[in-house]
Amino acid sequence: MSSPLRDVSEPVHLDAPINSPSRELAAALSPTSSALFGSDRIDPSALGAATCGCAPRLSRVPWEAPVNLGPNIISLRGDGSPAFSPDGHLLFFSKRPRRGEGNDDIWVSHRADPE
């Protein structure tokens, strides 16, 4: 069985502001072409834990600097792996539960306006 990714091109490194000396991981693209990813630089108060961030891309120009996704998503426990549903209304992400409650779990948040 052949790989469904056999025809992909060689990877290209995404320079700043997407990549930085910090750790970036679990990238996804929103329906409006904003880059979603986890990074330990997005929210310094997360004490080194990865935090979901969004780097807007308003046109075919480079992405803007990433910002965190706000208090409904961000926690001091760390969060990551953000990905939107195809219609842009649901945001799925992982988050560590409170201390002593196990490993990361998948969470979902809804937004009425996907723009």
* Residue-level pLDDT, tens digit, the chain, 115 residues: 455 556 657 767 788 888 888 878 788 888 778 888 888 776 666 666 677 778 887 666 788 888 877 777 777 767 778 888 888 888 888 876 666 566 677 778 888 876 6
Residue 51 burial (CB count, 10 A): 27
> Which structural domain, as residue segments, surrounds residue 78?
24-110
Q: Give the integer Cα–Cα distance in Å for 111 and 115.
A: 9
Provide the pLDDT for residue 32.
Answer: 78
Q: How many domains does the chain have?
A: 1
| Residue 75 is assigned to a structural domain of this protein | yes
Provide the pLDDT for residue 23.
Answer: 79
CB 76 within 8 A of CB 45: yes
| Residue 11 is assigned to a structural domain of this protein | no
Residue 59: name the closest of 37, 82, 34, 29 by CA.
Answer: 34
Provide the pLDDT for residue 66.
Answer: 85
| Residue 56 is assigned to a structural domain of this protein | yes
State which H helix or E strand residue 24 sits in.
strand 24-29
pTM, 2 dp: 0.62
Provide the pLDDT for residue 98.
Answer: 61
| Residue 76 is assigned to a structural domain of this protein | yes
Residue found by looking up tokens 């409650």 in the block: 101
Provide the pLDDT for residue 88.
Answer: 83
| Residue 16 is assigned to a structural domain of this protein | no
| Residue 6 is assigned to a structural domain of this protein | no
Provide the pLDDT for residue 46.
Answer: 65
